[in-house]
Amino acid sequence: MNSSLITINLVVLNGEKYIRHCLDSVLAQTYPHELIELNILDNGSVDKTKEVIHDLEFRISDLGFAKFNLIESKLNGSFQWNQQSSKSRCKCFNYEYREWSTSPDSTAGASEPSHCRRKTGYK
C-alpha cells in the first residue's frame, strides 16, 4: 500500500463562487486525510473568498489533515508558489481558481473523491 504524503496547492483570486466547491472536493477525498497537506494561496481576493475559507477552516482541522496553510498575498504569488512546489519531496497537485474561471469543473476530474487515490496509486 502506497502511503505517500501529498500536497494539494490551491491558488485563488476572487474565487468566492468556486472555492467552497473546490474545498468540499478536497475534504471528500478518500485518500487518508492525515497524509494530505493543504495549502491555499490567496492572491489578494477582494470578494468573500477568504471568509469562505475561514468558515471551512474548523472542518479542515477537524478532519485531521496533516497540515493546513492559508497564505495571503497582495501580489501574484503563483510564480513563487510553483517554485516551492517544485522543491517539495511529496506529490503535489496544483489548482487555480480565479474570478474568470468558467466553472469549478475546469480542473477536469479533480473534484472526484478518488482523485488523489488514482493519482498516487493508493489502494
pTM of the complete model: 0.70
What is the spatial distance between Cα 73 and Cα 90, in angstroms, rounded to a whole number? 24
Q: Would you identify the CATH topology of the domain 6-120? A: Spore Coat Polysaccharide Biosynthesis Protein SpsA; Chain A (3.90.550)
Element (H, E) at 19: helix 19-27
Q: What pLDDT score does 102 carry?
A: 37
Residue 87: pLDDT band with limits 50, 70, 90: very low
C-alpha cell at position 56: 471551512
Q: What angle do CA 59, 65, 67 make, to 5 degrees?
A: 110
Residues 41-78: tens digit of each pLDDT = 888 899 999 999 999 988 888 999 999 999 888 766 55
More confident residue, 85 or 105: 85
Q: What pLDDT score does 90 carry?
A: 53
C-alpha cell at position 6: 501529498
More confident residue, 96 or 70: 70
More confident residue, 1 or 7: 7
Q: What pLDDT score does 9 carry?
A: 85
Q: What pLDDT score does 101 carry?
A: 41
Q: What pLDDT score does 32 carry?
A: 92
DSSP string, 44-91: ---SSHHHHHHHHHHHHHHTT-SEEEEEE-SS--HHHHHHHHHH-SSE
Question: Can you give the residue ranges of every domain in the chain?
Answer: 6-120
